[in-house]
Every structure is written in C-alpha cells, then in structure tokens.
Amino acid sequence: MRVLAYEARRLGGLRSTWLILAAVLICDAAVAAVLARQVPAGVLSSSAAVRCVTAVVPLLPLPIAALGAGALGALSYGHEVRHPGLSASQVSLARRVGLVAGKAVVVGLVSAALALLGLLVNLLVVGVALAPSVDAAVLFDPAVLRSGLVDGGLLDGGQVGPLGRAAAAFVLLVAAGGSAGVLAASLFRSASAGLLLLCALPALVEPAVSLLLRRSGQDWPSWVREVMPFQYGLDWVPGGPAASQVPGQAVPVLLPVLLAAPLVLLALAALVAQLRRRSL
C-alpha cells in the first residue's frame, strides 16, 4: 500500500499528468462532437452511438484516451528514471519490481477513471451536438436501454446490453494502455521509445488475434470491433467474413486470453529487464 500511495503522490505531483488528462478530455469531446454532427437523420444505431461516445478514430493506432493513458504511463516512468526517489545502491530488485508494478497499477486505475469521465463528457457533448432530426433514444431513453439488455454472464453481455459492453471494453482498453505505457517505457528506460512500442502493438496484435480466432472457428463480436483501433483493418486478415452484427453476440472464450497476452508478455519482459539492471 505504501508503494501505491507513493506512486499516486508522485503521479499527481507531475504537471504533465494534469496536462495530459485535460488534453485527452478536450480532444475526445471535440472528436465526439464532430462524429455526432456527421450522423445522418433518422434513428441513431448502436454502432454509431458507440463510435460517438468513445470518440474512436480508426486512423489512430489506439483510441485518443488510450494514447493519452499510454503517454501518462510512459512519462511517469521516464520521470522516475530522470529523478529517482532513491539512489541505485538503495534500490533492491524486489523494490524495483514493486515500484514498476505499483506504477502500472496506479496508472491503470487513473486511466480507467479517465475513460469513465471521458465517456460521461462525450455523452453530454453528443447529446448537444446531435441534430434534432436524429433519434438518439438508444443513448438517452431508459426504455430503449432496458430493451437492449440480454441474459447471460458478463462475457455474454448479461444485464449490460450492447452499449454497456462496448463501454466496458473501452474502459479496459484505456486502462491496459496506461499500464502498458509504464511497462513499455521500463524496457528502454525511455518514455518516447515506450510510447512508440505501445503504438506499434495494435498493428501486430489485432491481425494476429483475428487469425487465431478464425482458425478456431470464431470471430470478433461486433461490439468489441467498434472500440478497437484497427476495426476496419480486421477484415484484411483472410479466413472468413467480418463478424456478423448480432446484438447478443457472446465473447469467444479465447478472446480475453489473446488480448491479455501482450500485456502479460510486456510484464514478463519488464521483469527480465529489471533482473539485468542495478537501477530502475
């Protein structure tokens, strides 16, 4: 707990932390407003609603919030390298590993909070920016929201509906981006190199996951595809058509494992890097 408290104080004391958080919220709100203004007249679909509220830009390697979270983690580790709290002779291996783990946890939690706040701000912005001719009941009508709920477990979308599942996937993606930023920066002891590695991961992970899923006879659920950064590039992988737009589509059992694998590999690589060093 002392490590987490130390990391929280250190993260909160960095001016870059607050600048990144503010920049992410402003950029997210601006993108959400632009996407909302482009929605044609008629009933707002769940797919368009998810894109507006999460402010996903397919041309970016990650959603804006995840990029900001990754930068937050990378800069946090970079600041620790430039201005260490303890001299190298006082930092044992166990303490170094604890500091990296604590930093990844704290940044991940802050990133999750940023994602939740961003979703709320974007929802308000979308409500204002949508044209009067657009029926946004899918976002704001409780009866429509309740009608979208389906039975089953959490991975099947139980009691959360398509928008809730997409929002949960978005929050997890942003939190993972923050923690991955810390771990990637720890490999090179450089914030910029860590952020570059983080941006390169989706281009490798998503096609590989698509290929493995299709080899096992499965595919990406439609609501997961909406918040993934290379959602349109997923169709480049041969092996079958795109995931069908089924409202109650379940998550393939293999999918969480495949998506968590890069973060686990980053953590193992960071641990190996600490074993070979005498300083953080």
59-63, 161-165, 174-178, 272-276 — which is least confidently predicted? 161-165
Residues 179, 263 contacting (CB under 8 angstroms) = yes
Given a cut of 60, whether residue 149 has pLDDT beyond it is no
Structural tokens at position 51: 């894109």
Task: Report the half-sphere exposure of 122 (CA within 13 A, side-chain side).
Answer: 29
pLDDT of residue 165: 76
Residues 56, 63 contacting (CB under 8 angstroms) = yes
Q: Which residue has the higher pLDDT, 42 or 85?
A: 42
From CA 45, how far away is CA 47, in angstroms rounded?
Answer: 5
Q: What is the 3-state secondary structure (H, E, C) of the chain?
A: CHHHHHHHHHHHCCHHHHHHHHHHHHHHHHHHHHHHHCCCCEECCHHHHHHHHHCCCCCCCCCHHHHHHHHHHHHHHHHHHHCCCCCHHHCCHHHHHHHHHHHHHHHHHHHHHHHHHHHHHHHHHHHHHCCCCEECHHHHCHHHHHHCCECCCCCCCECCHHHHHHHHHHHHHHHHHHHHHHHHHHHHCCHHHHHHHHHHHHHHHHHHHHHHHHHCCCCCCHHHHCCCCCCCHHHHCCCCCCCCCCCCCCCCCHHHHHHHHHHHHHHHHHHHHHHCCCCC
From CA 254, how far away is CA 135, in angstroms rounded?
Answer: 36
The mean pLDDT of 143-172, rounded to a whole number, is 59
pLDDT of residue 29: 96
The mean pLDDT of 17-41, rounded to a whole number, is 93
15-19, 32-36, 118-122, 198-202 — which is least confidently predicted? 198-202
pLDDT of residue 104: 93
Look up the pTM and report it: 0.82
Whose tokens are 């996407």? That residue is: 35
The mean pLDDT of 31-49, rounded to a whole number, is 87
Structural tokens at position 16: 């870059």
Q: What is the per-residue pLDDT across 217-258, written as a single tens digit (0 to 9) for each?
A: 766 666 566 666 555 444 444 444 444 444 444 455 666 777
| Burial class of 273 by CB neighbour count within 10 A (0 to 12, 13 to 18, 19+) | middle
pLDDT of residue 97: 87
The mean pLDDT of 204-217, rounded to a whole number, is 76
Reference 10, options 70, 67, 81; nearest CA is 81
What residues does each domain of the chain span?
A: 2-275
Q: In 10 A of CB 278, how many CB atoms? A: 11
